[in-house]
Structure 1
Amino acid sequence: MKELIEYIARSLVDQIDRVEVAQMRAPGGKVRLELRVARDDMGRVIGKNGRVANAMRILLRVAAAREEKQVTLDVIEPR
């Protein structure tokens, strides 16, 4: 699932080398993914009214459901 988010994010951004996805386990068997991209690419990843980010979350939920897991995606503000 981490690879799915990396693939989608790298397809959207200009600065491919700045795409980072961190995976963490949360209590209860849940998985949390954090996506970081360059500041200039944040708009591309989030989209108007968050539509791109929400579409990524939907695809992630579908992939996770196949593996009977629960996954969340957070887009983290760049430093």
Structure 2
Amino acid sequence: MEQLIETIVKPLVDYPEAVRVEKDENTNRVVYKLSVHQSDTGKVIGKQGRVAKAVRSVVYSAAGNYHKKKTYLDIVD
């Protein structure tokens, strides 16, 4: 899943080397924390959050087949 998130996000940003994905897993949920360069945060979120929603939709769809746990994607600075 980390590779999928990186594959989606890296072409969108100006600093692809700054893209990091961390995984935090509990018994009933998985949280992926996406961090990008500070100037790229707006590009990943998009106008009215449209890009972020699209990335989350793809990740959640793929995670449904990959995990049997609730999956979340957080975008952090």
The corresponding residue for 1:48 is: 47
Amino acid corresponding to residue 57 of structure 2 in structure 1: I
In angstroms, what is the RMSD of aligned CA positions?
A: 1.1
- Tell me how far apart the structure 1 counterparts of residues 39 and 33 of structure 2 sit (CA, whole Å): 18
- Tell me how far apart the structure 1 counterparts of residues 73 and 66 of structure 2 sit (CA, whole Å): 16
Structure 1 residue matching 2:6: 3-state secondary structure: helix
Report the number of matched residues: 76
Identity, in percent, stands at: 39
- Tell me how far apart the structure 2 counterparts of residues 43 and 61 of structure 1 sit (CA, whole Å): 21
**Structure 2 residue 68 is matched with structure 1 residue 76:** no
Structure 2 residue matching 1:59: 3-state secondary structure: helix
> Deviation at 1:2?
1.1
TM-score normalised according to structure 1 size:
0.88
**Structure 2 residue 47 is matched with structure 1 residue 20:** no
Runs of at least 5 residues in structure 2 that lack an aligned partner in the other structure:
none
Amino acid corresponding to residue 44 of structure 1 in structure 2: K
Structure 2 residue matching 1:27: 3-state secondary structure: coil
Runs of at least 5 residues in structure 1 that lack an aligned partner in the other structure:
none
Moved over 6 A (4+): none
TM-score normalised according to structure 2 size:
0.90
- Tell me how far apart the structure 2 counterparts of residues 31 and 49 of structure 1 sit (CA, whole Å): 25
